[in-house]
Amino acid sequence: MADQKQLYQEVILEHNKKPRNFGAVENPNRKAEGHNPVCGDHITLTLDVEGDRIEKIAFTGDSCAICKASASMMTTNIKGKTVEEAENLIQEFRDLATGKITAETPGHHLGRLTVFSGIATLPSRVKCAVLPWHTLHAAFANAENVSTEGSADPAH
């Protein structure tokens, strides 16, 4: 457990310091803004989906280290995947962050994203980690804005 916690801290710090895909896609065909009023995280996702495949994705915004690392790792993991594959990852990540599955649960496709498995024990940080994933789901649904509060609250 100590190794997993140390890896989590190292990954969060690395992606916070050097976020991948930070910026905006030019002329995106999907865009959504996500807000976590509890922490103050605010991100914007822009992406290009060609056919059913995610060709480009980037994010901007002001957020805590956990949210930024989650967005950075999410964009790295879903680039090149189909929308259906990305939607499956969204659900698996939500389940991981809320403790419904663990890193050891067979059959998931989270790979290195399992470093976030410890977030389930930190309820106040779950919304920080899932905000980019909520925002991606909103972009697929052509919703311009999404919040971690209300019906989208991962704790409900």
Per-residue pLDDT tens digits for 68-100:
999 999 999 999 999 999 999 999 999 999 999
Mean pLDDT of 142-149: 84
Beta-strand ranges (E) seen in 3-154 are: 30-36, 41-50, 53-62, 145-147
Q: Return the residue matching tokens 């896609």.
A: 25
* CA–CA distance, 105 with 102 (Å, rounded to integer): 5
- Terminal-to-terminal C-alpha distance of the chain: 27
Residue 1 is predicted with a pLDDT of 53
* Contact yes or no for 65/87 (Cβ under 8 A): no
Three-class SS state of 143? coil
Mean of the per-residue pLDDT values of the chain: 91
Q: Could you tell me the pTM of the whole model?
A: 0.91
Residue 6 is predicted with a pLDDT of 77
